[in-house]
Amino acid sequence: MKIFISVILAALVVFGVCFSSGCKKQENATYIAIISAMDNEIADLLKKADIKRVDNISGGEYHVGTLCGKNVVITKAGIGKIRTSSGATKLFENYDISKVIFTGIAGGVSDETKVLDEVIATDLVEHDYGIIRSDGFIWRSGDPGYGNEEGLYYHCDETLVNLAYTSAVEVLGADHVFKGTIATGDQFVASESYVEKLKNDYNALACEMEGAAVAVVCENYGKPYVVLRALSDKADGKAHESYSGFANDAADNSCKIVLKLLEKI
């Protein structure tokens, strides 16, 4: 009897651990992952989703349910490349993820873009990855072996990019939607001179703090991904003021586009 009780208790402990952590081995469902850096970037999505449960995994909350008829896991990974990499990795380790959508806000870099426009990333680049020498910063590849002197760009899934672009046009109109390179770095950019550098060196349309980190994790796991960014500011000397005034509106725009995108997937 003691052995039987011990086996039952052990099974319950394992089940409890799996349930609280998501434990993809206990589920047959495949999910679309939706990731953001901040709460306001997924607030509207959580309101519209039918959330079945919230898994707490190593301090992160993973909202599991359905949205637009699709199985989804929605999470705020946190600001910056390290937090986003950790959050995205926990998604893949705990759920059967088919594809990843990153939604959020960014600073505009291109002269063509305006605040509240949407940029769909075709590719992403780490603008702050390199070497600091006596003669200044030397940008290098995202490859740890520095094998690519031209730098490493991470390419979003073409099908998802096209679907996201079409969705954004339906929400905002063609004049307010752009496709191109987004530059990622662990800084909130509020500098006209650095905006010029991002534009000239990387041909970037926007800059933010997480996209390339998501790309690295998705490519490691061999899963398609896309990054959608609504512009809250122009990354210039007035960036903080613009961000304060437009961040929530920009985040809401990106959420609306994600909803359209989910309908098309």
- As a CATH number, domain 28-264 is 3.40.50.1580
User: Which of helix, strand or coil describes residue 176?
Assistant: helix
> Which token pair is 47?
């309101």
Task: Give the model confidence (pLDDT) of 87-133 as tens digits.
Answer: 999 999 999 999 999 999 888 888 888 888 999 999 999 988 878 88
Distance CA 60, CA 35 (A): 12
Question: What global pTM score does this model have?
Answer: 0.83
> Which token pair is 159?
């099908």
Residue 138: pLDDT band with limits 50, 70, 90: confident
Task: Give the model confidence (pLDDT) of 176-216 as tens digits.
Answer: 999 999 999 988 887 888 888 898 888 999 999 999 999 99
Flag whether pLDDT at 170 surpasses 60.
yes
Catalytic residue, chosen from 117, 126, 208, 233, is 233
Q: Is 61 a catalytic residue?
A: no
Residue 55's identity, in one-letter code, is: D
Distance CA 186, CA 188 (A): 7
Flag whether pLDDT at 16 surpasses 90.
no
Flag whether pLDDT at 78 surpasses 50.
yes
Distance CA 81, CA 142 (A): 13
Percent composition of the chain: helix, strand, coil (DSSP 3-state, to 5)? 40, 30, 25
What pLDDT is recorded for position 29? 87
Percent of the chain with pLDDT over 90: 54
Q: How many CA atoms lie within 13 A of 185 on its CB side?
A: 19
b/e map 48-62, b = 16+ CB within 10 Å: ebeeeeebebeebeb
User: Which of helix, strand or coil describes residue 260?
Assistant: helix
Q: How many CA atoms lie within 13 A of 87 on its CB side?
A: 32
b/e map 141-180, b = 16+ CB within 10 Å: bbeeeeeeeebbbbebbeebbebbbebbbbbbeeebbbbb
Write down the domain spans for the chain: 28-264
Residue 17: pLDDT band with limits 50, 70, 90: very low
User: Which of helix, strand or coil describes residue 245?
Assistant: helix
Could you give the dihedral angle defined by the CA atoms of residues 176, 182, 188 and 194, in that order, rounded to the nearest 10 degrees? -100
Strands (E), 117-221: 118-126, 130-133, 136-139, 153-155, 177-184, 204-208
- Please state, rounded to an integer, the average pLDDT across all residues of the chain: 83
Task: Give the model confidence (pLDDT) of 20-30 as tens digits.
Answer: 444 554 567 89
Task: Give the model confidence (pLDDT) of 218-260 as tens digits.
Answer: 999 999 999 999 887 665 444 444 444 556 777 788 888 999 9
What pLDDT is recorded for position 129? 84
Catalytic residue, chosen from 41, 44, 117, 118, is 41
Q: Is 233 a catalytic residue?
A: yes
